[in-house]
C-alpha cells in the first residue's frame, strides 16, 4: 500500500533556523529516507515553499477566484510530503515516527493511504 506522510509544522519557527540548523535537519531526514530508499520503498519527497509563495484557487459558481496564500488559518502549515510503499499501516507509522525523531520541535505527521498514484513524467533534476 502506498502512503502519503504529510509534514505539518510552524513555518515561522522553521524560518528562524540558521542554514546550519536547516542543513542538519535535512541530513537527519535524508538518513531516514535512505533507509526506505535502500528497500526500494520510497517514492517522491517534496518540501514546499513558504505559504507566502502560495496561491489558492477558490471554486465559485462562476469563474474560479485566485487569492494569495493558503485559505486556512492554522498554527501549523503543510510543509511537505513523503510517499512510501509500506506493507502495513504500522510500518507507515514507524516511518513517520523516524521522520519525527529526525525533525526537531513540535509539529505533526499525517499518515494517509493513497487511493490513486500517477508517477510523474517530470525529470528527476527538476527542483
Per-residue pLDDT for the chain (127 aa), expressed as one digit of tens each?
Answer: 999 999 999 988 999 999 999 999 999 999 999 999 999 999 999 999 988 888 888 887 888 888 887 765 667 888 999 999 999 999 999 999 999 999 887 889 999 999 988 877 775 555 5
Instruction: Note the pLDDT of residue 72.
Output: 59
Instruction: Note the pLDDT of residue 117.
Output: 83
pTM: 0.82
Sequence-ordered list of residues with C-beta below 8 angstroms from that of 106, at least 6 positions apart, any chain:
9, 10, 76
Instruction: Note the pLDDT of residue 124.
Output: 55
Instruction: Note the pLDDT of residue 78.
Output: 87
Amino acid at each position: 500500500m502506498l502512503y502519503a506522510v504529510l509534514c505539518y509544522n510552524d513555518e515561522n519557527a522553521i524560518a528562524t533556523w540558521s542554514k546550519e540548523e536547516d542543513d542538519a535537519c535535512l541530513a537527519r531526514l535524508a538518513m531516514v529516507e535512505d533507509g526506505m530508499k535502500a528497500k526500494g520503498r520510497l517514492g517522491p519527497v517534496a518540501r514546499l515553499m513558504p505559504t507566502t509563495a502560495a496561491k489558492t484557487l477558490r471554486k465559485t459558481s462562476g469563474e474560479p477566484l485566485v487569492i494569495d496564500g493558503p485559505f486556512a488559518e492554522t498554527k501549523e502549515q503543510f510543509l511537505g510530503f513523503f510517499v512510501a510503499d509500506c506493507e502495513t499501516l504500522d510500518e507507515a507509522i514507524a516511518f513517520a515516527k523516524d521522520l519525527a525523531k529526525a525533525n526537531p520541535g513540535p509539529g505533526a505527521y499525517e499518515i494517509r493511504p493513497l487511493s490513486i498514484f500517477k508517477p510523474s513524467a517530470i525529470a528527476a533534476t527538476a527542483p
